[in-house]
Structure 1
Amino acid sequence: MKNPEALLIIDYTNDFVADSGALSTGKPGQKIEPEILKLANQFIKAGNYVIFPTDLHEKNDLFHPETKLFPPHNLKNTWGWQLYNTVQPWYESHATSQQVYYFDKNRYSAFVNTNLDNFLRTHKINSLTLTGVCTDICVLHTAISAYNLNYQLTIPQNAVASFDQVGHNWALTHFKNSLGAKII
């Protein structure tokens, strides 16, 4: 029997995707929504997992390094922290499923300070498909962590986006050439 796989939908929130989001990728982030939902439905239908590693911050956290780099974003229990557009109702309609999980994270990588690696290993998952935003920040750091933990990586280029096109393109090349990821 083939091991299950996991689709990670990274940081696909209002603050990172909506026009009025605090750190919005804007149109590039919005454009990938149909592909993310298509993949999520395919993963569910195939008996695989869909995981939402999602950035979470506390207001005025003076000790978090991102406080010095970015404006407040993805603050707990705010509109900005909610999943973007039709992804939020998709998640809500599947949240009770044994195939859909949500992980709060407080660093760029979905593996740092979370139980994600333990969850994946417990479920015998060794192949990950990474989607979401930002290609050159949280998706990149998650991919590097996954590579270092020996996960096989697939990156659908039509399901990742950034507010920096140069960084986005660089990250796609890095995934392929330095992490051995399959770019589709």
Structure 2
Amino acid sequence: MAANRTCNTSTALLVIDMQNDFLLEDSAIRLDGGLAIVPNVIKAVEDARRRGFVVVWVVREYDPLGRDVELFRRPFYANGNLKPTSKGSKGAEMVDGLVIKPEDYKVVKTRFSAFFDTNLQSFLQGAEIDNLVVVGIQTPNCIRQTVFDAVALDYKSVTVIVDATAAATPDVHAANIYDMKNVGVAAPTLEEWCASSN
């Protein structure tokens, strides 16, 4: 084992976009049903820490002027509009119950995939991580694109915890889980994952 390892396994848990603006009921851009998975995401984080896995928090933090936002989101930033998940805003903070600890790692993204134009890949390589477990929102966008990039990058195993991820509707969620399973991604329930050895 390399001297610079900070965990006792080769697995990282990626927690994607579990932020107030995407989850709270009073947010104009909330994902319906997203709050329902918060307890399971909390349990997944707790179990990952118990096993000594690296916990990686993948978040959106946009420039308040919207200069790094996807084109389709830019109207949210025009003329004093909402400015969702702007850096330093309450909306960009983690939802209650999820806390980034000093030993965790945080990745800021401005696109769907956690790998796109971030240092996630170099961090994971440096930590000798070759197994990824993914939780968060939402399944057809950030979850799916991150997972497909991980598959393309030849991670040894990629797992999506099926009841610690969510989409706008159960049907959309199920269809995307089906597609990911077809490229070799594991999709256990939280209970099944917690009972597994890695």
Shorter-chain TM-score bucket reads: 0.7 to 0.9
Q: Give the secondary-structure state (helix, strand or coil) at the position aligned to 2:181.
A: helix
Q: Would you say 1:174 and 2:179 are equivalent positions? A: yes
Unaligned segments of structure 1, at least 5 residues: none
Q: Give the secondary-structure state (helix, strand or coil) at the position aligned to 2:21.
A: helix
Q: Would you say 1:153 and 2:158 are equivalent positions? A: yes
Contact 1:110–1:138 (CA under 8 A) maintained in structure 2: yes
Percent of residue pairs bearing the same amino acid type: 26
Q: Which amino acid aligns with 2:172?
A: G
Computed over aligned residues only, the root mean square deviation of the Cα atoms, in angstroms, reads: 1.9
Q: 1:42 aligns to what?
A: 47
Unaligned segments of structure 2, at least 5 residues: 2-7, 77-82, 189-198
Q: 1:127 aligns to what?
A: 131
Contact 1:3–1:126 (CA under 8 A) maintained in structure 2: no
Contact 2:68–2:110 (CA under 8 A) maintained in structure 1: no
TM-score normalised by L of structure 2: 0.82
Asked which structure has the greater CA Rg, the reply is 2
Deviation of 1:69 after TM superposition, in Å, equals 7.0
Q: 2:5 aligns to what?
A: none
Q: Would you say 1:116 and 2:120 are equivalent positions? A: yes
Q: Give the secondary-structure state (helix, strand or coil) at the position aligned to 1:52.
A: strand
CA distance in 2, matches of 1:17, 1:160: 12
TM-score normalised by L of structure 1: 0.87
Q: Structure 2 matches for 1:63-78, cutoff 5 A?
A: 64-68=69-73, 71=76, 72-78=83-89
Q: Would the alpha carbon gap of residues 60 and 167 (structure 1) be closer, same or farther in structure 2, given more than 3 Å must change?
A: farther
Deviation of 1:3 after TM superposition, in Å, equals 4.2
CA distance in 1, matches of 2:166, 2:71: 20
Superposition misfits of 4+ residues, deviation over 3 angstroms: 66-72
Contact 1:153–1:182 (CA under 8 A) maintained in structure 2: yes
1:94-129 per-position Cα deviation (integer Å, ceiling 9, x unaligned): x222xx111111110000111101111111111111
Q: Give the secondary-structure state (helix, strand or coil) at the position aligned to 1:6.
A: strand
Aligned length: 175
Q: Which amino acid aligns with 1:135?
A: T
Match of 1:17 among 5, 15, 23: 23
Match of 1:31 among 20, 23, 36: 36
